[in-house]
Amino acid sequence: MTTNAYKIRIANNLTKKNDVICFDYIQELPSGYAAISYEKYYDNREEGYFDIIKKILSVINCEEDQEIYYYNEFPFLINDTKVNRYKGYWGLKPYKTKKYEFLSCKAQALLSSGTQLKMKGLAKLNMDELKILIKQISYQERSFFFYFPQVNLDINTLSSTVENLAYSQVMDYMLNNDGVIFILLGDEDFKTSEVAVIAEQKIINVLMRVDLPI
């Protein structure tokens, strides 16, 4: 379906095969979650991601000053050394053009399994930080942005809550608490900007009733 220059895909249940998003970890989510994705060509792909997310947030919550969160975990284990512990998640996470000092609120979880570490990171972002962070990440990472309507989360408490959860379980925790998840996608040949939104059906229904601005 195409409307207002967006190509739109919808799925009512992400545990079934669909063309919204087909990553393996999505299939591990419990049933009951729905998704909608918006895809559009922009001259600048990263600015397109930001523009689509901001417009989606304006439909979900009309307030101007909004905060969004970011979650990432390394899909691999690293050696449990003093150097790696000292650098931590944000010191070892790859970046394109900047380090992560621009983030005003970030946390990490370091889980030891004897000689190796599992690393996870979270951040609370204002719109300026979101715009910068989008330029530093890749859709190939195990990461997503998420939003909790009218809830101000303590990032350290949240980090402790999810540190022992598998990736799909972290997503389920966010979604089960009325969270809205954003995953960056897009056509690699045409470099389109696509944002997939995962949420409870009632939130997806709200988005389906409103056309995003061009």
Tell me the per-residue pLDDT of 33-92, one tens digit each, with 9 for 90 and over: 899 999 999 999 999 999 999 999 989 876 656 789 999 999 889 999 999 999 999 999
Lowest-pLDDT range of 30-34, 35-39, 149-153, 174-178: 149-153
Burial code (b: 16+ CB inside 10 Å, e: under 16) for 194-210 equals: bbbbbbeeebbeebeee
Question: Comparing 1-5, 94-98, 153-157, which segment has the lowest mean pLDDT?
Answer: 1-5
More confident residue, 23 or 157: 157
Q: What whole-number distance in Å separates Cα of residue 99 and Cα of residue 83? A: 18
